[in-house]
């Protein structure tokens, strides 16, 4: 069994209960496999990053295996503006969707797309096609547009986002698919040793006292880093780690830096 999100965001929990923590969110148009189905909860596995967790059964919109395979092999459009407005074409109801949402079967000329059996129309600015051309510029511009968004564990939206959710979403809008967690993201790409070697859009990873990678940020220019810590903010980055401009102290210890985007 398979499903797709027709909501702005669906909370995914680590256990099948409302009291369980949210580990990630499914944005509009993202599709998944239903691994286990119950009366109140479904365990799902997201296609784009393989993440598993539980969602409320009432939020499940099922699709066929054929549709799932079609979505999995098709290049889609991804919304780039922080907020977009869509309209259900048969009853004219409007609702907000967030940056990073996927528009499957998007017809650019008419700004329409279809999710399951429902057709929608995009009413705000056009989305971007996920291609790697100018990916670095798009990644930085997108990351800056999240400035001051509050930190939320498991969040992937401008209304609340965690550090790895930020890097995953801005890379998605830049046309590059990466895993959900910082420890998984750190396994990608090529290492480099000095902050001065960094290019805008490279990722920096930080560990705790046990040596586990627990934080990630997006390197900007002039030794600056964009990351979600309390809120999405800009701080200084050097060989020791992140230096908080407001408190004038180091907050995160640098472990490694990675270049995921290959230059052409």
Q: What's the pLDDT at 222?
A: 86
For residue 189, the domain's CATH number is 3.90.1720.10
Q: How many domains does the chain have?
A: 3
Same domain, 153 and 215: yes
Residues 165 and 236 grouped into a single domain? yes
128 in any annotated domain: no
Long-range CB pairs of 203-207, under 8 A, 24+ apart, other chains included: 203/167, 203/257, 203/258, 203/260, 204/237, 204/254, 204/256, 204/257, 204/258, 205/254, 205/255, 205/256, 205/257, 205/258, 206/241, 206/242, 206/252, 206/253, 206/254, 206/255, 207/253, 207/255
State mean pLDDT over 1-30.
Answer: 98
- The pLDDT tens digits for 158-208 are 999 999 999 999 999 999 999 999 999 999 999 999 999 999 999 999 999
Q: Model pTM?
A: 0.95
- The catalytic residues are 163, 215, 227
Shared-domain flag, residues 67 and 84: no
User: Among residues 60, 91, 122, which one ends one of the domains?
Assistant: 122
Domain range for 174 is: 135-259
* pLDDT(139) > 80: yes
Q: What is the pLDDT of residues 17-47, one digit of tens each?
A: 999 999 999 999 999 999 999 999 999 999 9
């Amino acid at each position: 069994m398979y499903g797709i999100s027709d909501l702005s965001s669906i909370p995914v929990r680590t256990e099948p209960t409302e009291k369980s923590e949210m580990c990630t969110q499914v944005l509009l148009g993202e599709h998944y496999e239903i691994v286990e189905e119950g009366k109140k909860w479904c365990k799902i596995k997201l296609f784009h990053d393989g993440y598993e967790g539980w969602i409320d059964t009432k939020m499940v919109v099922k699709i066929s295996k054929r549709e799932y395979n079609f979505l999995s092999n098709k290049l889609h459009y991804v919304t780039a503006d922080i907020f977009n407005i869509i309209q259900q074409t048969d009853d004219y109801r409007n609702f907000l969707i967030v940056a990073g949402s996927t528009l499957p079967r998007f017809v650019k000329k008419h700004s329409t797309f279809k999710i399951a059996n429902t057709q929608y129309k995009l009413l705000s600015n056009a989305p971007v096609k996920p291609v790697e051309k100018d990916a670095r510029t798009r990644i930085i511009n997108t990351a800056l547009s999240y400035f001051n968004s509050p930190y939320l564990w498991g969040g992937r939206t401008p209304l609340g986002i965690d550090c790895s959710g930020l890097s995953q979403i801005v890379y998605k809008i830049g046309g590059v698919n990466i895993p959900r967690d910082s420890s998984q993201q750190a396994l990608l790409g090529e290492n480099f040793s000095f902050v001065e070697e960094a290019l805008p859009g490279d990722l920096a990873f930080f560990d705790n006292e046990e040596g586990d990678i627990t934080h990630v940020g997006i390197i900007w220019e002039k030794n600056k880093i964009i990351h979600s810590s309390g809120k999405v903010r800009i701080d200084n980055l050097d060989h020791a780690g992140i230096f908080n401009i407001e408190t004038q102290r180091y907050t995160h210890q640098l472990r490694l830096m990675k270049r995921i985007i290959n230059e052409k």
